[in-house]
Amino acid sequence: KNQVEQSPQSLIILEGKNCTLQCNYTVSPFSNLRWYKQDTGRGPVSLTIMTFSENTKSNGRYTATLDADTKQSSLHITASQLSDSASYICVVSSDFSGGYNKLIFGAGTRLAVHP
């Protein structure tokens, strides 16, 4: 069964600290992996997209890594800010036939950054 599992479920850190969120997937065939940020009450916003051949991608203070062999990804947030408080969702795109790629969503990690 295609699944995306994220850990931890929730996390509290102090402003200025770094943190790493984990994503394990059992999706096949694999096309690409995305990380989204979702503020409370808002729609998800894309942070990064990585294909099979990419093992790291950055977007400002956000750095995503991908190990396609172990089917694991991580999202590292550097020097956290209060505005980083949000849910972070890992999404894996599966390459179905007929040109349609299905997106499989993880349940998300809820991050709270405290002053």
Partner 1 sequence: EAQVTQNPRYLITVTGKKLTVTCSQNMNHEYMSWYRQDPGLGLRQIYYSMNVEVTDKGDVPEGYKVSRKEKRNFPLILESPSPNQTSLYFCASSLTPGLAGEWQYFGPGTRLTVL
Give the Å distances, CA to CA, from 90 to 4, 20, 22, 65, 100.
Answer: 7, 13, 9, 12, 19
106 binds partner 1 (CB under 8 A): yes
User: What does the block give as tokens for 104?
Assistant: 């499989």
HEC-encoded secondary structure of 45-106: EEEEEEECCCCEEEECCEEEEEECCCCEEEEEECCCCHHHCEEEEEEEEEECHHHCEEEEEC
User: What does the block give as tokens for 35?
Assistant: 């990380």
Q: How far is the CB of 49 from partner 1 (least distance, A)?
A: 6
Nearer to partner 1, 15 or 104 (CB): 104
Binding string to partner 1 for residues 48 to 87, with x set by CB under 8 A, is what? Answer: -x-x------------------------------------
Q: How far is the CB of 94 from partner 1 (least distance, A)?
A: 8
Binding string to partner 1 for residues 31 to 50, with x set by CB under 8 A, is what? Answer: xx-x------xxxxxx--x-
Which range of residues in 14-22, 28-36, 62-70, 78-86 is near partner 1 by CB under 8 A? Answer: 28-36
Nearer to partner 1, 35 or 63 (CB): 35
